[in-house]
């Protein structure tokens, strides 16, 4: 009997992470959702069905990640999708700015680093995949003030991706990042005023917001055999927003 392929998705219980998890389940993977909110994890796993499991962990905490990954002897795919945004601008009081900076970098950058470090010895070789979910903000600095921490953490994720690709390539393992543009139906978009959403869509040549399924499609390509010679790249999935 063929051994089931294992995919771990941090931040997999909501938004883009859930969309990726759902696509991987449909592609035949056993998907392990990792996140901090047990209620949300359990609900998401129930929605995904018997091929989904969950582990509670704060990805910025090494012991949490070690515990979450300890039950697996092999990992085929690691998707680092956990992360969030807290506003940090030059106008933010420095105490608040530092606190928000540390929290954002811990989740978005350190969390991806820790998860990959701990997963690396378990990644199938050859054939393993590491996929980091970045953001268009890494390349633009964000579309409004307040993105200092978020943009820096996501830009750091690009450097991490390039370095991982170099180190994992001799084992036949790829490492890539996906940089979404404006994606609807996530926890990020609820705070955006309708007028700003309309402006973004008007600036996007494809004429619509993205969806988690758009990001999941890129993930499915990268984990497939068709993506086996692609490593050390940042793939923009933004409907052309940067050129809009």
> pLDDT tens across 75-88, in order?
999 999 999 999 99
- Domains of the chain by start residue, with CATH: 6-243 (3.40.50.720)
The reported pLDDT for the residue numbered 196 is 84
What's the pLDDT at 169? 98
Q: In angstroms, rounded to a whole number, what is the distance separating the alpha carbons of residues 140 and 155?
A: 10
Q: What is the mean pLDDT of each run of 10 residues along the chain (244 residues)?
A: 87 97 98 97 98 98 98 96 95 98 98 98 98 96 90 98 98 98 70 82 92 97 98 96 76
Nearest partner of 212 among 185, 232, 175, 243, judged by Cα:
185
What pLDDT, in 10s, does the model give residues 120-149?
A: 999 999 999 999 999 999 999 987 889 999
Contacts of 133 (CB under 8 A, 6+ apart): 11, 16, 17, 20, 79, 80, 81, 83, 177, 178, 180, 215
- Which one of the listed residues 69, 113, 150, 188 is annotated catalytic? 150
Q: Torsion over CA of 17, 123, 220 and 111, rounded to 10 degrees? A: 30
Q: Which two tokens stand for residue 83?
A: 């992360």
pLDDT tens, position by position, 146-161? 999 999 999 999 999 9
End-to-end CA distance of the chain: 50
- Strands lying side by side in the sheet with 6-10: 52-56, 30-35, 6-10, 77-80, 129-133, 174-180, 234-237
Q: What is the pLDDT of residue 123?
A: 98
Place of tokens 């359990």: 42
Q: What pLDDT is recorded for position 174?
A: 98
Q: What percent of the chain has pLDDT over 90?
A: 87
CB 208 within 8 A of CB 239: yes
pLDDT at 148: 97
Q: Is 150 a catalytic residue?
A: yes
Confirm whether pTM is higher than 0.85. yes
Measured distance CA(176)–CA(228) in Å, rounded: 11
């Amino acid at each position: 009997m063929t051994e089931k392929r294992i995919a771990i998705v941090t931040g997999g219980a909501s938004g883009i992470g859930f969309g990726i998890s759902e696509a991987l389940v449909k592609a035949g993977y056993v998907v392990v959702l990792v996140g901090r909110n047990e209620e949300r994890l359990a609900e998401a796993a129930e929605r995904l069905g018997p091929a989904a499991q969950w582990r509670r962990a704060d990805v910025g905490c090494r012991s949490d990640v070690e515990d979450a990954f300890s039950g697996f002897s092999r990992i085929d795919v690691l998707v680092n999708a956990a992360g969030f945004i807290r506003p940090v601008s030059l106008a933010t009081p420095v105490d608040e700015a530092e606190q928000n900076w540390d929290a954002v970098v811990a989740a978005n950058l350190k969390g991806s680093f820790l998860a990959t470090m701990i997963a690396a010895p378990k990644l199938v070789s050859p054939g393993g995949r590491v996929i980091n979910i970045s953001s268009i903000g890494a390349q633009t600095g964000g579309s409004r003030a307040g993105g200092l921490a978020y943009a820096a953490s996501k830009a750091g994720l690009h450097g991490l991706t390039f370095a991982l690709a170099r180190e994992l390539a001799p084992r036949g393992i790829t490492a890539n990042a996906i940089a979404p543009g404006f994606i609807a139906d996530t926890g990020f978009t609820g705070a955006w005023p309708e007028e700003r959403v309309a402006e973004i869509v008007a600036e996007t040549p494809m004429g619509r917001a993205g969806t988690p399924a758009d990001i999941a499609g890129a993930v499915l390509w990268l984990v497939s055999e068709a993506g086996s010679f692609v490593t050390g790249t940042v793939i923009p999935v933004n409907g052309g927003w940067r050129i809009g």
